[in-house]
Structure 1
């Protein structure tokens, strides 16, 4: 989930630490809460998206907020940051004197190891792995996009403009369909066998069959990561003041599209809007398409927050520490879901009244634990365990 951000090595030797930009780390640390909320809902209800189809009381409001701000709105942030981090890593290698061939070798090796991490993560812990897809996308971007000129990279802006048109058109279709709709169908939610498995070995078998199609499904987020690469080429998050206007417009438009496009799904999930089955499917399609815009929107918001931080306090420092160790934080969450929520372990999501409320509280608690651990590691000057392993595999042992 994170880029390499500690001192590095190239084949020519160590790379010295450069001054850090606050915004990328702050964004990753804070958005891991969104990832936790989205994933825990899926685990609790053994579905995608995680949804209580018959909410009552406070569950209605939680469903509404989850569909407006969380579901299909967290992973685009990390996709943007993944593309951004790829450029940052290449730039650090360039500054250390590595040749383009050496830089390419490092990036390919790192991303291929991410695919291996993803396979192990999915097999052992959680079907909804994104690391494998990140690795595949990273290989493609390294080979096809990293060293290309400005004209090619401008294509991504055209693609995003076309996606915005798609959301507007789809929104108009959904609005018309709602107006003529009858019935009371829930939002479509796919059942995930591994999340409902009665034993650990059975869940592994299920995940091994679920991971490949899931990974292929999310690989197209290369368009989102490409936008992050475009932003990194302009040092948007390193030079926040110079890009204040761009960040402001991106935050407003990105989150505006995501919230407006997610509103019908949020209302249906809360039981405040009743539609027929075909309309519910269209609404979920709009929800997913508009969710992509939350990626740049959230990143821009945290960029603006970082712009106002002159001296990071303990909260910002702790979130940034987690951002620097976001791969470890992400994997820690999956371990927690397996131990706390699986039917064959503690199954806490089903033990205390509302599964939705239980899931939200568990997600927030697990995320807070990762924040505290990351802060402790930061004070000791230690990287996260997953980052250490990935760095060792990518660069080899230190000399």
Structure 2
């Protein structure tokens, strides 16, 4: 039973880290002010481009970062144990402190879209509630999520349907595009120029951290509560997973319908803002539908190959997440490799993403056949826990 649970959690973590890449790919390839925009995407709005955008927004965006946050909430308990365990609590705090360091280095020196800092900061709150029972964790996390989602949705709806003079809107658009053009030149320049621009964009994102902190904390509580309730361990009944699947499918149909309608109607600004708000609010139920599908896969012999293939990726999620940033910046940032910033459309980004998925699935299996953990997991573990073996013993590898 423990083996099945570990495979399930690792498979979900692997699904999360791979799914995040498709959502992040545009942020590596073009300036952040236009990365998530369909109407201002530098390569136009052709059928193939819009199709990839709709699929990403419908089936990927917000779902996998939500899953990743939920699973990080689980790790708070798995590493730190109960609050009464002072020794494990000290290990957990050191783990989170080093994650803050990794997050700052990743965000400022590699890629501005870092989530490690947000997770670490939220972790310092969740560690205080990690001994709460499942029901209290779920109730508290869900309440926070609903309140902030409703506030966000109301704010977006108000902004979307508030009349705006055409000349004022044109002026704002012109400023945004000029900013994007300047950032494009910097990202396409030499190594120092791309490094400085990345740091500037990271600083520009920091004011949003308080909101991200609250929402991430809520997701971690939901994830830990779901873990304690048996949902993330595969212990819940088939009826529970069927309900999660149905609820997630209904939520996903609403989200998908909004983005399809937006594409068909010519990308109206108001509908787009509402669609983003609904997408954000319904991320947890759509994410839990993926959890249900993974559980059903682990229980089915023909489909169990999927979680088995994803589990090694999840065991090395920290390494694979940072490796994605290194690979993508080497492809797109100036002075680091190919320097293709601004030159690849969404279909090309999807192809690059799939290639990295395949590579990380194969490389993770190869590495873990020989070593106990991923290379960065090993470094991180040494920093917060002390020396740990990396290479597998011959007898264990043979077994």
Q: Cα–Cα, structure 1 residues 338 and 311, in superposed 2: closer, same or farther, change >3 Å?
A: closer
Shift of 1:335: 0.4
Which deviates more, 121-130 or 216-225?
Answer: 216-225
Distance 2:144 2:239 in 1: 19
Please state if 1:287 is matched with 2:279. yes
Task: Give SS of 1:21's match.
Answer: helix
Tell me the equivalent position of 2:326. Answer: 335
Please state if 1:396 is matched with 2:396. no
CA RMSD of aligned residues (A): 3.7
Please state if 1:235 is matched with 2:220. no
Q: Cα–Cα, structure 1 residues 68 and 154, in superposed 2: closer, same or farther, change >3 Å?
A: closer
Tell me the equivalent position of 1:28. Answer: 13
Please, what TM-score do these two structures have when normalized by structure 2? 0.79
Q: Is there any run of 5+ residues in structure 1 with no aligned partner, and where?
A: 1-16
Distance 1:395 1:110 in 2: 8
Q: How does 1:11-26 map to 2 (within 5 A)?
A: 20-26=5-11
Shift of 1:239: 4.0
Distance 1:130 1:119 in 2: 10
- Match for 1:147 among 131, 134, 142? 131
Tell me the equivalent position of 2:300. Answer: 308
Distance 1:31 1:165 in 2: 22
Shift of 1:213: 3.1
Distance 1:350 1:210 in 2: 16
Please state if 1:224 is matched with 2:241. no
Distance 2:145 2:97 in 1: 31
Q: Cα–Cα, structure 1 residues 266 and 326, in superposed 2: closer, same or farther, change >3 Å?
A: farther
Q: Cα–Cα, structure 1 residues 133 and 109, in superposed 2: closer, same or farther, change >3 Å?
A: same
Alpha-carbon contact 2:26-2:349 (below 8 Å) kept: yes
Q: How does 1:178-193 map to 2 (within 5 A)?
A: none
Task: Give SS of 1:74's match.
Answer: helix
Alpha-carbon contact 1:44-1:350 (below 8 Å) kept: yes
Alpha-carbon contact 1:21-1:237 (below 8 Å) kept: no
Please, what TM-score do these two structures have when normalized by structure 1? 0.79
Q: How does 1:45-84 map to 2 (within 5 A)?
A: 45-47=30-32, 49-53=35-39, 54-84=44-74
Alpha-carbon contact 2:294-2:307 (below 8 Å) kept: no
Deviations 1:212-247 (A, max 9, x none): 33544421221111101101222333343x432222
Deviations 1:270-302 (A, max 9, x none): 3x1236434433333223323343333322322
- Match for 2:94 among 100, 109, 133? 109
Deviations 1:285-322 (A, max 9, x none): 22332334333332232222223248954x54331111
Which deviates more, 113-122 or 289-298?
Answer: 289-298
Distance 2:130 2:356 in 1: 36
Tell me the equivalent position of 1:201. Answer: 192
Alpha-carbon contact 2:316-2:364 (below 8 Å) kept: yes
Distance 1:200 1:255 in 2: 44
Q: Is there any run of 5+ residues in structure 2 with no aligned partner, and where?
A: 390-399
Task: Give SS of 2:63's match.
Answer: coil
Alpha-carbon contact 1:43-1:50 (below 8 Å) kept: no
Tell me the equivalent position of 2:397. Answer: none
Distance 1:379 1:150 in 2: 35
Shift of 1:38: 0.7
Distance 2:23 2:220 in 1: 20
Q: Cα–Cα, structure 1 residues 42 and 18, in superposed 2: closer, same or farther, change >3 Å?
A: same
